Amino acid sequence: MDAQTPEKPETLSVGLTGGIGSGKSEVLKRLKAHGATVVDADLAARAVVEPGTDGYEEVVKEFGPEVVGPDGALDRARLGALVFADPDRRAALNAIVHPRVAALMAEWADAAPPGGVVVYDVPLLVEGGAHRGYAAVIVVDADEEVRFARLLANRGMSRADAAARMAAQATREDRLAAADYVIVNNGSLEDLDRETDRVWSELLKKRDSRIR
């Protein structure tokens, strides 16, 4: 690089995870308000197969018109039933969706300002070992009974359904072991504001130490 050309500051890549009912979405809202670029894997997965996209056309070509709902969008429940019952069909869907998701997430991340903080909201971050690829990992943590109460009140789940969802994810201990920063979310939204502000300040310190 020419000595006269300043080096572009690198973005700080942060993975964020939390068990179902922990309040991860609320934390993401606050980080975005602070100026973080949020890259949502679930949102990307939906965007790449919206009607009119080549991903949508590929899925319909592969799985047939029966996976199209009355509104013209993919019937995710029907598609899910097909692919989860058959590893080969699941692999076929992944071959269509995953490269497009990766490309779209990279595009969103590239739009971050120089020296910015990019927060990746990726399902199964700890379960798949993907947390090792980030400069920092944030875990949103809440007590089990708090999470149960939220799932029953806010999502209308039964306790059995909530327990099954929790059991399908990494354990609380595994998530905390992977964490560089923990945001505790057992209390009010005001408490969450303070917790998120604290971690955001730490992320900025980490970013600045890398720039210097």
- pLDDT (tens digit per residue) in 87-120: 899 899 999 999 999 899 999 999 898 889 999 9
Residue 17, C-beta contacts closer than 8 angstroms, at least 6 positions apart: 24, 122, 125, 126, 131, 137, 138, 139, 140, 175, 178
Which one of 5-14, 60-69, 84-93 scores highest in mean pLDDT? 60-69
* Residue 142 confidence (pLDDT) above 90: yes
DSSP state of 131: G
pLDDT at residue 57 in the model? 97
What angle separates helix 76-84 from helix 54-63, to the nearest 10 degrees?
60
Range with the poorest average pLDDT among 75-84, 93-102, 198-207: 75-84
Give the residue, 133 or 206, on which the prediction is more confident. 206
> What does the alpha-carbon distance between residue 20 and residue 53 come to, in Å, rounded to a whole number?
30
pLDDT at residue 9 in the model? 66
* Residue 8 confidence (pLDDT) above 80: no
Core vs surface per residue 111-145: b (16+ CB within 10 A) or e: ebeeebbbbbbbeebbeeebbeebbbbbbbbbeee
Section 54-61 average pLDDT? 97
Quick: pLDDT tens for 150-167.
999 988 889 998 998 898
Q: Give the pair of three-digit tokens for residue 77.
A: 């429940």
Confidence of residue 23 (pLDDT cuts 50, 70, 90): very high
Confidence of residue 122 (pLDDT cuts 50, 70, 90): confident
Q: Give the pair of three-digit tokens for residue 126.
A: 């700890």
Give the residue, 133 or 2, on which the prediction is more confident. 133
Nearest to 151 by CA among 21, 38, 12, 2: 21
Element (DSSP H or E) covering residue 19: none
Domains and CATH numbers, the chain: 13-36+116-207 (3.40.50.300), 55-115 (no CATH)
Section 166-181 average pLDDT? 92
* Residue 190 confidence (pLDDT) above 90: yes
Half-sphere exposure of 78 (CA within 13 A, CB side): 13
Query: Would the pTM count as exceeding 0.85?
Result: no
62, 103, 155 from 71: Cα distances, Å: 19, 27, 24
What's the whole-number average pLDDT of the chain? Answer: 90
pLDDT at residue 7 in the model? 47
